[in-house]
Amino acid sequence: MKSLMERIAQGEVLISDGAMGTFLHAEGLSPGECPESWCISHPGAVKGIAEAYIAAGSDIVETNSFGGSSLKLQPYGLADKVQELNRAAATLAKQAMGEKGYVAASVGPTGHFAKEEYGDVSTEELYEAFMGQITALAEGGADAICVETMSSLVEAVQAIKAAKENTKLPVICTFTFDQKPRGFFTIMGVSPERAAEGAAAAGADIVGANCGNGIANMIQISKRMRAALPEIPILIQANAGMPKVEDGKTVFQETPEYMASQVKELIEAGVNIIGGCCGTTPDHIAAMAKASRAMFKVAER
């Protein structure tokens, strides 16, 4: 099987998966329960989520390890389980995917900021926390490391460095942006251009955005990243719109059909990997995969 980076270099647009957290809650994860603990306590459910996305057309599935760093696991009393939980997360996703595609190991924010950003941890502590998580994910069989949902470029750089210096895997780095009067910025004031350039300079092989926006806003973010870095691959995982509370329930309003209708424009903006974030389901992924593959079938004729 060709590597992930080879397929992108050959011009393929790959499909990643959709939401993990909302899927876990639908499966029975309780509020306040550690999602990563399910890799040990409910392995069948975690593997089943990956299998559902693979059946929907995902070329890439992420691991259930978003909050798997020691700093993030500490409040749950699970900081000593970093190796076990992350290795299990990667193994489950790999078992589901087999040789059909790729496993991207999810590495989310630690929940802390560096002291240089008026936070409470040093960059060395961030690096060590990410290194412990990332090495376990690599041992579990991950094909890539996906540093995601970042708002701080300082924190993102430490995660990228930990991956590049301790594994041979390609590294993806995505940020989450809010729309402000002056445009799109992370909560730490990082623009799409600065995020992409900073991540790439640290060694990221793929950059992009996830969460925080519906698919239409992601098209604008993609254009800005592509203009800043004409050559680097881009990954986009949009929410199914922004969440709203209706009758006491959180609802995401972008339908699979609507998200699929935006795929052509996303690809034309320069996106190489398309998936979903909060609120997206296997139905969303199936619709977007169909739209993407239909576009390329037309182009081949």
Rounded-to-integer distance, Cα 244 and Cα 281, Å: 17
pLDDT at 22: 87
Beta bridge partners of 159: none
152 vs 8: CA distance, rounded Å: 27
Please give, one letter per residue, the 3-state secondary structure of 196-226. HHHHHHHCCCEEEEECCCCHHHHHHHHHHHH
What span, in angstroms and rounded, lies between the C-alpha atoms of 79 and 71? 7
User: From residue 212, how far is each of 17, 149, 160, 169 by CA, in Å?
Assistant: 16, 9, 21, 27
Q: How far apart are CA 108 and CA 155, in angstroms?
A: 10
CA dihedral (74, 79, 81, 87) in degrees, to 10, reads 90
Q: What pLDDT, on a 0 to 100 scale, did the predictor assign at position 243?
A: 84
Who contacts 226 (Cβ-Cβ below 8 Å, separation ≥6)?
A: 234, 269, 270
The CATH number of the domain where 11 resides is what? 3.20.20.330
At 299 the pLDDT is: 45
Check residue 223 and give its pLDDT: 98
User: What integer pLDDT is reported at residue 249 of this predicted model?
Assistant: 82
pLDDT value of position 301? 33
Contact 15, 285 (CB under 8 A): yes
Q: What is the pLDDT of residue 297?
A: 60
Dihedrals phi, psi of 118, to nearest 5 degrees:
65, 30
Q: Domain range for residue 287?
A: 4-300
- Cα angle 121, 122, 123; round to 5: 125
The count of domains in the chain is 1
Q: How far apart are CA 147 and CA 199, in angstroms?
A: 10
pLDDT of residue 250: 81
pLDDT given at position 300: 44
pLDDT per residue, tens digit, the chain (301 aa), is 899 999 999 999 999 999 999 899 999 999 999 999 999 999 999 999 999 999 999 999 999 999 999 999 999 999 999 999 999 999 999 999 999 999 999 999 999 999 999 999 999 999 999 999 999 999 999 999 999 999 999 999 999 999 999 999 999 999 999 999 999 999 999 999 999 999 999 999 999 999 999 999 999 999 999 999 999 999 999 999 998 888 888 889 999 999 999 999 999 999 999 999 999 999 999 999 999 999 876 444 3
The reported pLDDT for the residue numbered 298 is 44
